[in-house]
Structure 1
Amino acid sequence: MIGHSLGGLALPFQPDLHRVDRAILVAAGPVHLREHPWPLRAGIAAMWHLHGPVLNATLGYFPGRRFLLGADVPGPAFRQWRRWCTRPGSCLADPDMPPLQSEALTCPVTLVSFTDDGMVPSTAVWRLGAWMPKAAVTRRLIAPADHGVTSIGHIAAFANRNRAVWPALVA
């Protein structure tokens, strides 16, 4: 299975992990606001603490497309992600989350991070590996220039313009 961002972060919470033969988790990890590089951190702090809550309360969702964050985010998801990214413990401290099921995950897991991903930096991606203590975890750090692309960031790993990176994701 391949999971990107939240899709990868959610893996250790899933049932039936013994049925997974291999996992590739791309740009996925429990990130905290303080881990974002400057000056991006200032913009993300404003999103979580200023315009995000206002827009979410006004519109009922966070307009992620307008902020080049991929997709719009439903209101309840925005509030939950805000808690995860601004409070200690991330989603592990969220009483609404199920317990980790990762003891059953024993397959190879590849954690993939991009050198230009400011949204979920490598430190957060690598930390996700600790949530899967019985998995055979490997880490892969990908630099866009090594694949002839100008940028990947957090959102564009699977964009057609970055297809030269795809073989490195599944290697």
Structure 2
Amino acid sequence: MTMSRHTLTASNGATFVLRTFDPQVAPAAVVIVPSAMGVAQAYYQRFAEWLSAQGFAVITFDYRGIGLSAPPSLRGYDATIFDWARDCEAAIDFADQRHRDIPLHWIGHSLGGQLLGLIRNRDRIQRVMTVATGNGYWLENSWPTKRAVWWLWFVAVPLATRIAGYFPGKRLRKVGNLPLGVIRQWRRWCLNPEYVVGVEGREVREQYSSVRQPMMSVSFTDDEMMSERSIRSLHRLYSNASVEFQRIAPRDIGVSRIGHFGFFRPQFESTLWPLVSQWLADR
């Protein structure tokens, strides 16, 4: 496996950092792994290395303003979630240039699975797996998050952004540092029962309904953020896609905890990760 780092230019001249994980053999397919909200691509490195060892070319990246793509300060930094969708498009174009003749697949963690409807060149993608991807509407969150998230949306975000000029999530131990435009847009989505389409309107709703790639949703009964109801709500936006749901309880694989972030942790290399290689190979 060979890992390389690349700096890409997306919309408005903004740059972001992408990493490739190339197998030692000719890859069977290329897999893009877009991150969850506020999560740096480094979190997915071990998973990307493992998937590359299975014979897939893998791409991870940091949305502008996150991880390796973050400026020295987010104060005054201009970025929205729509801009992050443009970063996804640039990553797809990059993958297409390097691996034009092999299939391209999408394994999106949380937000990474939500963004698909906003990506204009998504037709290049053949198959999609969403991991712990729900709609984010605060009254459909799992109970551990629901009982505290009102403080985030109605107190922490308005006050912290006014003072800092961005969302200082690391300091508050919530989500992570986020650009002002991102947190404000995400707040509007999370306060609307229809999430992104309820805020952004008919055109965006139609974009989601135009997604037709076969899709698998992998979710977990002990997810502290996304309830089963929120998982189903989000995937209903992909109304013309064939969606297969796989809901996993920790006891199914002999552990006590998986949670919202657990799937990509190395401890699940022998239990959860093979679901991905099997899903890619069987279809």
CA 1:140–1:65 in structure 2 vs 1: closer, same or farther (change >3 Å)? farther
One-letter identity of the residue aligned with 1:78: I
Partners of 2:173 and 2:148 in 1: how far apart?
12
Please name the residue that 1:22 is paired with.
127
Indicate whether 1:43 and 2:148 are aligned: yes
Q: Which moved more, 1:67-76 or 1:112-121?
A: 67-76
Contact 2:211-2:241 within 8 A present in 1 as well: yes
- Deviation of 1:88 after TM superposition, in Å, equals 3.1
CA 1:102–1:79 in structure 2 vs 1: closer, same or farther (change >3 Å)? closer
Q: Which moved more, 1:151-160 or 1:105-114?
A: 151-160
Partners of 2:156 and 2:193 in 1: how far apart?
22
TM-score (norm 1): 0.84
Indicate whether 1:77 and 2:172 are aligned: no
Indicate whether 1:9 and 2:114 are aligned: yes
- Deviation of 1:22 after TM superposition, in Å, equals 0.6
One-letter identity of the residue aligned with 1:123: R
One-letter identity of the residue aligned with 2:249: A
Aligned to 1:78, the other structure's residue is in SS state: helix
Higher relative contact order (CA 8 A, sep 6+): 1
Contact 1:6-1:28 within 8 A present in 2 as well: yes
One-letter identity of the residue aligned with 2:272: V
Indicate whether 1:115 and 2:221 are aligned: yes
Partners of 1:121 and 1:107 in 2: how far apart?
24
Partners of 1:159 and 1:66 in 2: how far apart?
24
TM-score (norm 2): 0.54
- Deviation of 1:141 after TM superposition, in Å, equals 0.6
**Residues 37-81 of structure 1: CA distance to partner in whole angstroms, max 9, x if unpaired?**
435322111111112321222222323334555532222211111
Root-mean-square deviation (CA, aligned residues, Å) is 2.5
Please name the residue that 1:65 is paired with.
170
Please name the residue that 1:159 is paired with.
265
Which of 185, 193, 197 aligns to 1:88? It is: 193
**Residues 2-32 of structure 1: CA distance to partner in whole angstroms, max 9, x if unpaired?**
1111111110222233322110011112121
One-letter identity of the residue aligned with 2:274: P
CA 1:64–1:97 in structure 2 vs 1: closer, same or farther (change >3 Å)? farther
Aligned length: 171
Indicate whether 1:32 and 2:99 are aligned: no
Contact 1:109-1:137 within 8 A present in 2 as well: yes
CA 1:157–1:103 in structure 2 vs 1: closer, same or farther (change >3 Å)? same
Identity of aligned residues (%): 33
Partners of 1:96 and 1:64 in 2: how far apart?
28
CA 1:95–1:42 in structure 2 vs 1: closer, same or farther (change >3 Å)? same
Query: Which protein has the larger Cα radius of gyration, Structure 1 or Structure 2?
Result: 2
- Deviation of 1:154 after TM superposition, in Å, equals 1.7
- Deviation of 1:157 after TM superposition, in Å, equals 2.4
CA 1:147–1:69 in structure 2 vs 1: closer, same or farther (change >3 Å)? farther
- Deviation of 1:109 after TM superposition, in Å, equals 0.3
Q: Which moved more, 1:137-146 or 1:154-163?
A: 154-163
Contact 1:111-1:126 within 8 A present in 2 as well: no
Contact 2:114-2:234 within 8 A present in 1 as well: yes
**Residues 119-138 of structure 1: CA distance to partner in whole angstroms, max 9, x if unpaired?**
12121112222222222210
Indicate whether 1:142 and 2:248 are aligned: yes
Please name the residue that 2:33 is paired with.
none
